[in-house]
Structure 1
Amino acid sequence: MAVWDDIKKQHKKVRKKGFKAMVSYFWDYYKVPTAVIIVIALFSFYLIRDMASNLPYGFYAMMINSTMHPDGEVIGEDFAGYAGIDTSSYNVLIDTNQTLSTSSYNTYDVSTQERIMAITAAGDLDVMIADQSVFEQYARNSYMTDLRDLMSEDELKKYDGYIYYVDGAILKAIEDGTYEQASSENTADNESQDSQDDPSVAGSNSAATDETISDEEISYMLGISSPSSIVSEDDFVLPDPDSMEDPVPVGIILSDTAFMQSTNTYAGSVPIFGIIGNSSRTDLAIKFLEYLNEYAPSES
């Protein structure tokens, strides 16, 4: 009790000496416990923040080569509400900032491809939306699900005229290596025939092999942006399933959806929607397709 009375007396003396004396007294006697409290508070703040930012994915979609780059965070929050995803427990990521050229690669293109490979291998990526050049590349590498495995015949029929097909026979040939072999043999035969028909072709091919490095290789090493490989809306041709040996529906054209019409996300090109083959959230992927069709911009 005597100690407590003494402390109160000291406080009264300090208060009489003014504000500076109070600050000095506080610093002398409480700086260590105050510092400890601040450190604990900061640690708690950053721990909670990191835990929140490292939530498991509840849904992950990637829009590649979008022209308008809409705010993915806003779209993610809107879709989470639409689909009933608890964002306090799961992270909804709509990545709208990725670009990729398929005509020639620079360091950024390689980085994007490696990222796609990594998140796909981890089972994180659910949906890919891309222009035809990129979508066709990944579809031919068996990244996309056969939509017949996820939709009934009637559900798929709703998208007649918007379904993107690839030839299953080509996918199988690519997988077992016979497609590349046949393509190489055809190319070699054509070059040989051209050389026989026109001797100048042989001379130009020989000259090309003498070059130590091409302009494309220089651009690649310097990280200069690759020339665009995006297929424009005017040049887009929807693959005809009747011309295929084994037509497989792997994508949905999104050009006329409410989302694309409202946001112009792929102005000048044709966006194609596909569901990643190893996604464990295919129900939400289908829900995202519905969301894009029924999209209504928020009133803010």
Structure 2
Amino acid sequence: MTPYEDKTLKDTLQEEKNKLKNMSLKDRLWYIWEYYKIPIIGTAVAAALIVSIFSAVHNNRFETALSCVILNSRPDSEEDLVSQYFDQGFRQYIGLADETKIDVDHSMSISFDNSNMTEFTYAELAKLSALISSKELDVMIGRKDSIDHFGEMGGFLDLKTVLPPDVYDQVKDQLYEVTNQETGEKIACGIRIGSTDFLKKTGLTMDDPILGIISNSTRTDTAVKLIRYVYGL
């Protein structure tokens, strides 16, 4: 048996320790990366995979009660008032269990002006379209241009037929109509919420916010409850 073969793991580690001890910091970093980059990369990839799997499993434990996007808004407060409004206030309003989640994304900024379209804008629009196509989105809150864009393509339910009579009677003067380009039918695609305390309580700034329920939403009952909550009904 050769001396090398007779070495124990302890001896090998001691040799490596002695080598590093006599090196400068720069040389240590080079040596470690040069000789151990494969296990380092493997460990990093494995750790990332474990975190990804854990995150997916953790999130899948929770059923989604409502998914909402708020487009082209700006926070005017350092506090996360949006989470307080939805994940505390609305959750309590509908008596939602802790293990059921409410998804609200108010980070998207989208323009429908071709002269202002950028790669970022296209990416945000693609993300939003994917959410709608996969039936993961229930509610959109946006400016007139956003509601017009999706409403003209039949992207929203007609609130005249969706809202319960008691809610409709209270908000009918605030309904916002858009004409479907394909059918020529004018429907109530949204409801103006600028007169409510929505912006004040969420700490958001936006022009004339309109709330619409996505046409393929699978959670319309909860979306209607959100309208009740916004209007304090």
TM-score of the aligned structures, taking structure 2 as reference length: 0.67
Q: Residue 94 of structure 2: which of 83, 92, 115 is its match?
A: 83
Which residue of structure 1 aligns with residue 57 of structure 2?
51
Task: Say whether residues 1:276 and 2:231 are aligned partners.
Answer: no
Which residue of structure 2 aligns with residue 145 of structure 1?
157
Q: How does 1:105-254 map to 2 (within 5 A)?
A: 105-168=117-180, 170-172=181-183, 246-254=185-193
CA gap of 1:115–1:292, structure 2 versus 1, over 3 A, is same
Superposition deviation, residue 138 in structure 1: 0.8
CA gap of 1:247–1:142, structure 2 versus 1, over 3 A, is closer
Superposition deviation, residue 108 in structure 1: 1.3
- % identical equivalent positions: 21
> Which whole-Å CA distance do the structure 2 matches of 1:69 and 1:285 have between them?
25
> Are the aligned partners of 1:61 and 1:125 in contact in 2 as well (CA < 8 Å)?
yes
Which residue of structure 1 aligns with residue 112 of structure 2?
102
> Which whole-Å CA distance do the structure 2 matches of 1:111 and 1:150 have between them?
32
Higher Cα radius of gyration:
1
Which residue of structure 2 aligns with residue 289 of structure 1?
227
Which residue of structure 2 aligns with residue 67 of structure 1?
74
Instruction: Indicate the SS of the match to 1:144.
Output: coil
Instruction: Indicate the SS of the match to 2:75.
Output: coil
> Are the aligned partners of 1:69 and 1:96 in contact in 2 as well (CA < 8 Å)?
no
Superposition deviation, residue 58 in structure 1: 2.0
More divergent stretch after superposition (254-263 vs 119-128): 254-263
Instruction: Indicate the SS of the match to 1:120.
Output: helix
Superposition deviation, residue 64 in structure 1: 0.3
Instruction: Indicate the SS of the match to 1:97.
Output: coil
Which ranges in structure 1 are unaligned for 5 or more consecutive residues?
1-42, 174-245, 296-300
Higher strand share: 2
CA gap of 1:86–1:52, structure 2 versus 1, over 3 A, is farther
Figure out how many residues of one structure are paired with residues of the other and give that number: 178
Larger RCO (CA under 8 A, 6+ residues apart): 1
Q: C-alpha deviations, 1:97-136, integer Å up to 9, x for none?
A: 1110111211111111111111111111000000111111
Which residue of structure 1 aligns with residue 25 of structure 2?
none
Instruction: Indicate the SS of the match to 2:172.
Output: coil
CA gap of 1:139–1:259, structure 2 versus 1, over 3 A, is same
> Which whole-Å CA distance do the structure 2 matches of 1:69 and 1:62 have between them?
18
CA gap of 1:63–1:69, structure 2 versus 1, over 3 A, is farther
Q: Residue 205 of structure 2: which of 266, 281, 285 is its match?
A: 266
> Which whole-Å CA distance do the structure 2 matches of 1:293 and 1:117 have between them?
28
> Are the aligned partners of 2:142 and 2:211 in contact in 1 as well (CA < 8 Å)?
yes
> Are the aligned partners of 2:160 and 2:168 in contact in 1 as well (CA < 8 Å)?
yes
> Which whole-Å CA distance do the structure 1 matches of 2:54 and 2:131 have between them?
24
Which residue of structure 2 aligns with residue 239 of structure 1?
none
Q: What letter corresponds to residue 151 of structure 1 in structure 2?
A: L
> Which whole-Å CA distance do the structure 2 matches of 1:290 and 1:156 have between them?
10
Q: What letter corresponds to residue 73 of structure 2 in structure 1?
A: S
Q: C-alpha deviations, 1:44-93, integer Å up to 9, x for none?
A: 998665422333422100000012277344333212222222232x3211
Q: What letter corresponds to residue 150 of structure 1 in structure 2?
A: V
